[in-house]
Amino acid sequence: MSGSAEETRAPLPTARELLARHGLSPKKSLGQNFLVDTRVQERIVAAAALSAEDVVVEIGAGLGALTTRLLGRAGNLIAIERDARLAEILRVELGAAPNLRIVEGDALEFDLTAAARAAGRPLVVVGNLPYVVTSPVIFATLAAAAGGRAVDRAIFMVQKEFAQRMLSPPGGRAYGRLSVMVQQAALAEILFHVGAGAFLPPPAVTSTVVRLRPREQPLGEVSDGNLFALVVREAFGTRRKMLRRALEPAFGSGRALAALAAAGIDPTRRAEELSVADFARLAKALAHA
């Protein structure tokens, strides 16, 4: 099915109108800051560079601001929304579109790999992400991309500080587990920043739109992705500690020291000083230590 519903669909009422009509107010606990700036909506959808073959998964469709624009460009769209009140509005306003499937539920329980298999192609994932689940959504997206080649690209709006952590190089204050895991699995770019005035209600922070393109091969060569993830987690678990101490609880002192030596990493260094390639070498050495 293609997105030909666009020409016949009436424009969606504004977020303010929809909330008033249904007697609703935004839920802070679900990160409901609705994007009301139409130019920003358009820029996000343009960044997805969609064609009629694309199958898009939208995380947190809300009142449909991005949904309605995505519908006109994508072949098919799966819109996930956790808030039953908003899912009902989406069904009423957009449910007639032949290329839209509305999933009422938690995006973290949605199986991207199965959806890509059913679609017969890797997905495009888009979302003005609720800040409460930003990290797990990004980790799930990267895992689906790595394991099953289920995701071709993702366009996410996140808090600016979160985007900076994703892209931070080693040594910086923002560099941490998120930076290593994202950079290992994907090419991440900051596309543009969005001020609080673009949202209803305005959040306390600036937002940033990022694009993730999962790598065909991880940046650092590893034989065991789970071990890599464990090493990174343990190393940053106590980021102020020297690596030999930080790795000791999970791997034991002897094994940690042997692996650090085999990887050519000074055991007195700290996690925040290691590059992604260093972590990969360390994980490989631990697999054999």
* Interaction site with ligand SAM (CB under 6 A): 30-35, 59-62, 65-66, 80-83, 86, 106-108, 128, 130, 132-133
Which residue number, 78 or 80, has a Cβ lying nearer to ligand SAM? Answer: 80
Task: Tell the smallest beta-carbon distance from residue 116 to ligand SAM (Å).
Answer: 18
Task: Tell the smallest beta-carbon distance from residue 190 to ligand SAM (Å).
Answer: 18
Give the strand pairing for 151-159 and 207-214.
antiparallel
Which residue number, 133 or 285, has a Cβ lying nearer to ligand SAM? Answer: 133
Task: Tell the smallest beta-carbon distance from residue 70 to ligand SAM (Å).
Answer: 10
Distance CA 289, CA 153 (A): 36
For 18, the token pair is: 């929809």
Which residue number, 59 or 144, has a Cβ lying nearer to ligand SAM? Answer: 59
Q: Which residues pair with 103 in a beta bridge?
A: 80
For 56, the token pair is: 């898009």
Distance CA 265, CA 256 (A): 11
Task: Tell the smallest beta-carbon distance from residue 103 to ligand SAM (Å).
Answer: 9
Other Cβ atoms closer than 10 A to 288? 9
Which residue number, 19 or 247, has a Cβ lying nearer to ligand SAM? Answer: 19
Task: Tell the smallest beta-carbon distance from residue 80 to ligand SAM (Å).
Answer: 5
Which residue number, 46 or 261, has a Cβ lying nearer to ligand SAM? Answer: 46
Which residue number, 132 or 191, has a Cβ lying nearer to ligand SAM? Answer: 132
Q: Check if the beta carbon of residue 115 is closer than 8 Å to that of residue 151.
A: no
Task: Tell the smallest beta-carbon distance from residue 145 to ligand SAM (Å).
Answer: 19
Which residue number, 36 or 260, has a Cβ lying nearer to ligand SAM? Answer: 36
Q: Chain centroid to CA 70: how far? A: 18
Task: Tell the smallest beta-carbon distance from residue 57 to ligand SAM (Å).
Answer: 11
Which residue number, 34 or 162, has a Cβ lying nearer to ligand SAM? Answer: 34
